[in-house]
Amino acid sequence: MGELLRTGLRMAMAVVLGLVLMFVAAQVWFATLVWWYADHPPGRTAFMAYRMGELHEKKPDAVLRYQWVPYERISRNLKRALVAAEDSKFVEHEGFDWDGIQLALEKNRAKGKRVAGGSTITQQLAKNLFLSPDKSYLRKGQEAIITLMLENMLDKERILELYLNVIEWGNGIFGAEAAAKRYYGVSAAQLTAEQAAKLAAMAPNPRFYERNLGAPGLRKKTGIILARMPQVELPD
């Protein structure tokens, strides 16, 4: 009986050690990719792959629309609009907006359902680059770790540049350049303040708004973002 117990304990320890090593290896892999993205644009993100997999089930000939453009070729209007809409404390925080998270929890509690997330631009970038839309605690934990990597290995301008290039803006549409061409027939550099505000308003639910560009809620959100944009501080 004693020998059986010791064998069981050794097996359990081996399993735990294996899991720890797998976890460490995964973090090293994520950190290596973050280091690579400091100077290189992503080819296709995990979130793009996930969404395109969903899209191909319904439309096998669907094409990914994604074109990387450098930070200086993206309209300051869009930079201001996204920061105003998604993360007003972007240049101040170190990855997490604790006041925003608390406010989101209070809103969700009052509504009895999830109506606000409180995620920062850096957190959303972590998800877009490496993870799926899954809302499990495991995914959120990994997102938090990658968020810290991004904040410690990249500067704010690079984080915003990556985010502007990989954010989803419709079915198969990713990044500022593809969105500007899809909705306005211009480059990301040419977006006006109002156009940028509307794109930022679409960001939380882009596939819905792609089909409902005249939705009253979208017009209202666009006006709110437009009014906030002059007060936004950018990292450049």
Helix ranges restricted to H, 38-75: 46-58
| β-strand partners of 25 | none
Model pLDDT for residues 149-198, shown as the tens digit of each residue: 999 999 999 999 999 999 999 999 999 999 999 999 999 999 999 999 99
Q: What percent of the chain has pLDDT over 70?
A: 92
| Residue 191: CA count within 13 A, CB half-sphere | 31
Model pLDDT for residues 68-127, shown as the tens digit of each residue: 999 999 999 999 999 999 999 999 998 888 887 777 666 666 666 554 567 999 999 999
| β-strand partners of 168 | 174
Average pLDDT for 201-211: 96
CA dist 159 and 153 (Å) reads 10
Q: Are 155 and 235 in contact (CB under 8 A)?
A: yes
Mean pLDDT is lowest, of 3-17, 20-34, 122-136, for 3-17
pLDDT of residue 203: 95
3-state secondary structure of 151: helix
Helix ranges restricted to H, 154-202: 156-166, 176-184, 193-202
pLDDT of residue 96: 86
CA dist 173 and 67 (Å) reads 10
pLDDT of residue 115: 47
